[in-house]
Amino acid sequence: MKQWISTFALPLAACGGATSPGSGSNTLYVEAIVEGKPDSTSFSVIVLRSGSNVVGANVFFVDQDSGTERNLVGHGDASKKKGDYRYEGQLGFYAPNLKLKITAGNDSLEALLAGPAPHVILKPDNNDIVAANTGEVLGVEWRR
């Protein structure tokens, strides 16, 4: 019986939340890639059992902040090598706190992923002009 593994990748280091590799039936191998942008969050998930692509799994992410769920659509050629069949989807906003849920028959996996919170630059103001090479210290303030 193959142990499950969850892999998460983000373009920035995770901070400020709870990330957990999760729990489940210990029979699925999962690679989940989440890409967060200011206006969207996209998902690509590979689900394997005993080294073979799993077709027909229920794969979805839940945005923990808003409760929005996104079921991922499976596509590709399942008869080919690992990764030729994947589940993909997208949210129309940045979601830093996610729960991944997968069920495939009697097998399951649940995991948490926390990414960096969006930041807002407070100072300098958007209209401020900052002169280069003045030797002055530039103060920058931001909030999450």
pLDDT one-digit tens code per residue, 43-97: 999 999 888 899 999 999 999 999 999 999 999 887 877 778 999 999 999 998 9
Do residues 16 and 112 touch, judged by C-beta distance below 8 A?
A: no
pLDDT for the residue numbered 98: 93
The phi-psi region of residue 51 (left if phi > 0; otherwise alpha if psi is between -120 and 50; otherwise beta) is left
Closest to 43 in 3D by CA, of 102, 95, 90, 9: 90
pTM of the entire structure? 0.70
